[in-house]
């Protein structure tokens, strides 16, 4: 523990204590006291001045106290606090011969490269559903540069991908009339991880089924984020000589609810990759179609009593700039838009997008509803 330098601040500590059942009882600008309700009547001190000379010392004492109370080692507690605002995706390569926790250089190279490929393919599918991209959107490549890589772990070879997460309840309010670009960038990270989880879950289901996936099932998988490029990234690492299986575990941030319906763990062995290869070949030859997705908040609503449709404006990020996309929605979807606006629930809209420079951005909508990536409508 003496070698650990806490790499977090008071906000991470307070959020961690909040989600683990602690509550503040007193304090001020320098320090706070938090208590854990229960028979033990535990109390810990939280340093609140990250620039103070003794902040690291006080934080280490706090970690030791929490380690004792939670019966966890200090490194585990430290990592849990440091990543409280992060989603951590663990890619674990395994093989019967991997007894010492090491991995051949070539297999390790493929694992790291595939981690980036999986992330880029998932980011691209978050922007638009497409079976075969050929050229990724620049935003997808940028996102893969922004995620971080954690320390690998011995025992079985694990590569942690760290991305940001933020609770939508902390950023949206009822009748939200604008978006914050910085917050939307954070939420995009969570959306990409959710897309990756859903897409790999669908692939895992197809690989584990008692029949080969039908063309219809493969076509439907595009809607969940499966693409030719995602399949090839998986196959690359599992087909290396020293890797017999790859499992992917999603450790969602404790401050944001996990996206509903997403698997927490998916495994692919050599047999599963045969199905993945089958899916990828069909997606490669698929007719080139696009289905754009936008995410944001409903900011404008207009409908006359006798109109069949309502006019709706959704503020979103297009090429990382805030813009309002206009759309006409039928009765049911319009009422969904009103509900999301009144409750401050972020939305996801898919369809055909036109956004001429200097002109109005419009979308011909195929699906409209609460953003399932954030779980804000639970």
**Segment 15-39, tens digit of pLDDT:** 999 999 999 999 888 999 999 988 7
CATH number for the domain whose boundaries are 291-370: 2.40.50.140
**Parallel/antiparallel/unpaired status of strands 321-330 and 361-370:** parallel
Integer CA distances (angstroms), 300 to 34, 70, 178, 341, in order: 43, 48, 10, 9
Residue of 253 and 375 predicted with greater confidence:
253
Number of Cβ within 10 Å of residue 330's Cβ equals 12
Phi then psi for 19, rounded to 5 degrees? -75, -15
pLDDT band at residue 287 under the 50/70/90 scheme? low
Q: Can you tell me which residue has the tokens 């909508």?
A: 365
Whether the predicted pLDDT of 274 surpasses 90: yes
Q: For 330-378, write each residue's pLDDT tens digit.
A: 999 999 999 999 999 999 999 999 998 888 999 999 999 999 888 666 5
At 168 the pLDDT is: 64
For helices 181-208 and 138-146, give the axis angle rounded to 10 degrees: 90
Measured between its terminal Cα atoms, the distance across the chain in Å is: 40
Whether the predicted pLDDT of 64 surpasses 60: yes
Phi-psi group of 148: left, alpha or beta (phi > 0 → left; psi -120 to 50 → alpha; rest → beta) = beta
Extract the tokens encoding 367.
């699906």
- pTM, 2 dp: 0.88
């Amino acid at each position: 523990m003496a070698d650990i330098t806490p790499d977090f601040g008071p906000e991470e500590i307070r959020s961690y204590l909040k989600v683990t059942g602690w509550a503040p009882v007193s304090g001020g600008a320098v320090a706070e006291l938090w208590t854990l309700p229960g028979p033990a009547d535990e109390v810990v001190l939280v340093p609140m001045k990250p620039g103070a000379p003794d902040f690291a010392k006080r934080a280490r004492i706090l970690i030791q106290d929490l380690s004792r109370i939670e019966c966890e080692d200090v490194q585990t507690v430290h990592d849990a606090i440091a990543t409280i605002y992060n989603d951590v995706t663990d890619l674990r390569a395994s093989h019967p011969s991997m007894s010492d926790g090491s991995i051949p250089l070539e297999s390790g190279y493929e694992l790291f490269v595939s981690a980036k490929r999986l992330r880029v393919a998932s980011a691209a599918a978050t922007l638009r559903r497409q079976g075969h991209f050929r050229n990724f959107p620049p935003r997808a490549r940028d996102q893969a540069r922004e995620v971080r890589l954690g320390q690998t772990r011995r025992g079985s070879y694990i590569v942690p991908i760290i991305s940001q997460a933020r609770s939508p309840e902390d950023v949206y309010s009822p009748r939200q009339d604008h978006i914050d670009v910085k917050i939307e960038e954070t939420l995009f990270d969570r959306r990409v991880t959710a897309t990756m989880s859903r897409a790999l879950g669908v692939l895992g289901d197809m690989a584990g089924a008692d029949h080969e996936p039908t063309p219809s099932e493969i076509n439907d998988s595009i809607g969940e984020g499966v693409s030719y490029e995602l399949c090839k990234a998986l196959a690359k690492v599992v087909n290396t000589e020293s890797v017999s299986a790859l499992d992917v575990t999603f450790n969602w941030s404790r401050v944001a609810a996990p996206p509903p319906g997403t698997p927490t763990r998916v495994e692919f062995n050599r047999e599963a990759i045969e199905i993945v290869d089958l899916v990828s070949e069909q997606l490669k030859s698929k007719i080139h179609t696009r289905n754009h997705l936008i995410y944001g908040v409903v900011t404008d609503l207009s409908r006359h009593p006798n109109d069949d449709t309502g006019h709706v404006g959704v503020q979103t990020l297009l090429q990382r700039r805030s813009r309002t996309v206009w759309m006409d929605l039928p009765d049911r979807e319009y009422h969904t838009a009103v509900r999301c606006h009144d409750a401050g629930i972020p939305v996801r809209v898919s369809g055909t997008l036109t956004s001429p420079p200097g002109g109005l951005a419009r979308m011909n909508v195929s699906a409209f509803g609460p953003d399932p990536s954030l779980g804000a409508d639970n």
